[in-house]
Structure 1
Amino acid sequence: MGLFGPKRIGIALGSGSARGLAHIGVLKALEAAGIRPDIVTGTSMGAIVGAMYAAGMPLEEMEALATAYDVKGLISLADIAWQRGAIIQGEKVEEFLAEHLPERFDDLKIPFGCASTDLVTGHGVKHTSGDLRRAVRASISIPVVFAPVTGDGHVLVDGYLTEPVPVLLARRLGAEVVVAVEVCGSGTVVPDDGQRDAGVVRDLIAALRGEPRQRRRGTSALEVLSASSEILERHVALPALQQADVVISPDVHTYTGYDFLAAPDIIAAGERAGRTAARAIARKARLRLP
């Protein structure tokens, strides 16, 4: 690329569980506008979407996959058993990743990286080479919900604890313009009492089934866990977002991190936000849009 030619675009897809499905919509809108990222990074759900995109999965196929799961399908991915300090052991999710992702980073079509957190050192871990599926599995391992990925003296959990929107990782991989997509909610939740592990399990199953909440927002164990994560993500993400060239914030604050059955609406929100941001990205990257 010349001195005055287009700049390399990196897109950093943030954590957010079900709200992270908005990333699919953002990518759809950007592609429709003629913008294709050269580099992708992601954390948690952003790691799944980003890895699939970097592997060359068409966005239509990704959207169909996200919206195809009904209650039974979602529960089939949750091998629930209280072991290794977590509700979900993750073997079913690992099978899902093996079905939809190549084995290694070298097999991807564009550069990709994802973030996790090492509970042994307390530091973030940046994954850019080696076992792709293991890296993504580590990046999505929400503490207490998913069993961590262990080995070689490391205990790896979700990257939202240290790098919820991996902007700096995108720059490290060579991006000259970084687009950050953050999907953290905006509500404040105050718990009214302590909840036991069994309550978390019940709440998780109810959320996957799409059952109406019986308690006011913020009082169930799962809602407390989700809201606590959101608050932490927002505070940890702020310094990285300030270093992005463009920040996209889809309007998904009315959804929780477990509203997977709302996938069509969440993806649509991402698409709207992506369309709004397209021209700003094009200006930063010196692209000419149709």
Structure 2
Amino acid sequence: MKLNSRIDRCLRAARLPVLLFCLATLLAACSLFTAKPVQPARIAVVLGAGASKGFAHIGVLKVLEAQQVPVHMVVGTSAGSIVGSLYASGKNGFELQAIAMKMEKDKVIDYDWKIWKGGLIKGEKLERFINAAVNHAPIEKLKIPFYAVATNAGTGEEMVFGRGNTGVAVHASCSVPGVFQPVRIGKDTYVDGGVVSPVAVDVARRYGADVVIAVDISGGLDKDAPSGVMNTMQKTFNIMYAKNVAAQLKNADVVIRPNVEEIGSTDMEKFNQAIFEGEKAATAALPEIRKVLDKLNAEGRLPVR
């Protein structure tokens, strides 16, 4: 009897540690199968350089809005920074179109014939126009995260403005060499972002975009053989530019290419045509955009606007 009693006591004493071990093992196993919270994807729209062709960006944004495609980040280069900053400030596509209708060259272009300053346009009017349109909000206070891309004229490096004076950043991003006077900010001088990043997909990725919808208004290359010195030089520049664009677009999820080849760099009066071409190109890209959104939905990562 005493032996049996001792055995019973030993078994009871051993039962608690065994139960605790089993419970700990069960909890550890459960933790392995506990799914981590899924983060919704961040969708960026990257608006490329292209002077007056940039009105096409408005048409693209109108279609994205109509289809309720959420936009969590806007990256703009040159003309893309103008449209992008206004959109990031909270203006919708129709409001952007209304601004385009009222825009006149003398409201945004201030000629300065002192060519030794590096350009024929000062750019101060453009600064004032942008700052007034965004209610003088700095970049970091805009409603959608916005990044304007420029080129450091001293180092040749890409410069991304994600905070500070919105008008100044857009001015720097738009300062086409030889056309606009370079922009001095602090100790550095900046020119058009299209020199290094015509369609800055890499910037969107760097700042956390999971999905990138890129809008390329460069128009590509014409296949005609160059003729004459100036035409040959221009053709050579266009080849380098196109190669740069193509390299950046490889990292985009969706590429929208409005047909704006017939719109010249200074054809501001053709804004309606450019907007229409933007709408057409974005509409044509909708199946591809929906495919990306459907994939996010299947993964449980489809974001809300």
- Report the TM range for the smaller structure's normalisation: 0.7 to 0.9
Letter in 1 for 2:112: A
- Paired position in structure 2 for 1:154: 188
Contact 1:185 1:256 in 2 (8 A): no
Aligned residue type for 1:141? S
CA contact (8 A) 1:33 1:275 kept: no
Distance 1:232-1:263 versus aligned 2 partners, 3 A rule = farther
Instruction: Look up the match of 1:236.
Output: 244
Distance 1:260 1:152, change over 3 A: same
CA contact 1:185–1:230 (8 Å) conserved in 2: no
User: What's the CA shift for 1:232?
Assistant: 4.0
1:115 aligns with 2:143: no
- How many angstroms apart in 1 are the aligned matches of 2:241 and 2:45? 18
**1:250 aligns to 2:262 (yes or no):** no
Contact 1:40 1:112 in 2 (8 A): yes
2:27 paired residue number? none
Q: Out of 166-175 and 39-48, give the one that drifted further.
A: 166-175
In the superposition, relative to structure 1, how do residues 229 and 142 fare at CA in structure 2: closer, same or farther (>3 Å)?
Answer: farther
Report the Cα offset of residue 47 of structure 1.
Answer: 0.5
Equivalent residue number for residue 209 of structure 1: none
Q: Distance in 2 between the 1:264 and 1:74 partners?
A: 15
TM-score (norm 1): 0.81
Deviations for 1:143-194, whole angstroms, at most 9, x for unmatched residues?
Answer: 1111111132211010000011111111122210101110012354846456
Give CA-to-partner distance per residue, 1:118-162, whole Å, 9 cap, x none: 111111111112222211110011111111111322110100000
The match for 1:82 is: 113
Q: Report how far residue 109 of structure 1 moved.
A: 0.7
On the 8 A contact 2:126/2:167 being kept in 1, the answer is no
1:54 correspondence with 2:88: yes
Larger RCO (CA within 8 A; separation ≥ 6): 1
Q: What percent of counterpart residues are identical?
A: 36
Establish whether residue 92 from structure 1 lines up as the match of residue 125 from structure 2: yes
Matched, 1:137 2:168: no
Give the 3-state SS of the residue equivalent to 2:120 in structure 1: strand
The equivalent residue for 2:207 is 173
Which structure 2 residue ranges, 5 or more long, are not aligned? Answer: 1-35
When the two structures are aligned, how many residues end up with a matched partner? 256
Instruction: Return 5+ residue gaps in structure 1 as ranges.
Output: 195-217
Whether 1:128 and 2:159 are equivalent positions in the alignment is no
| 2:107–2:129 CA contact under 8 A, matched in 1 | no
Residue 98 of structure 1 and its aligned partner are, at CA, apart by 2.0
Q: Of 270, 276, 287, which aligns to 2:278?
A: 270
Q: Distance in 1 between matches of 2:105 and 2:186?
A: 32
Q: Counterparts of 1:220-231 in structure 2 under 5 Å? A: 230-231=238-239
Bigger Cα displacement from structure 2, 250-259 vs 158-167: 250-259
For the structure 1 residues 76 and 40, does the alpha-carbon distance in structure 2 shift closer, same or farther, using more than 3 Å as the test? closer
Specify the structure having the higher radius of gyration (Cα).
Answer: 2
One-letter code of the match for 1:96?
Answer: F
TM-score, length of structure 2 as denominator length: 0.77
RMSD: 2.3
More helix per residue: 1 or 2? 2
Letter in 2 for 1:30: L
State the Cα distance separating 1:248 from its structure 2 match. 0.7
Shift of 1:113: 0.6
Q: Tell me the residue number matched to 2:78.
A: 44
Distance across 1 between alignment mates of 2:290 and 2:237? 33
Structure-to-structure mapping, 1:182-261, within 5 angstroms: 182-188=216-222, 190=226, 192=228, 230-261=238-269
Report if the CA contact (8 A) 2:214-2:249 is conserved.
Answer: yes
CA distance in 2, matches of 1:25, 1:231: 27
- Is the alpha carbon distance of 1:78 and 1:132 closer, same or farther for their aligned partners in structure 2, counting shifts above 3 Å? closer
SS state of the match for residue 82, structure 1?
A: coil
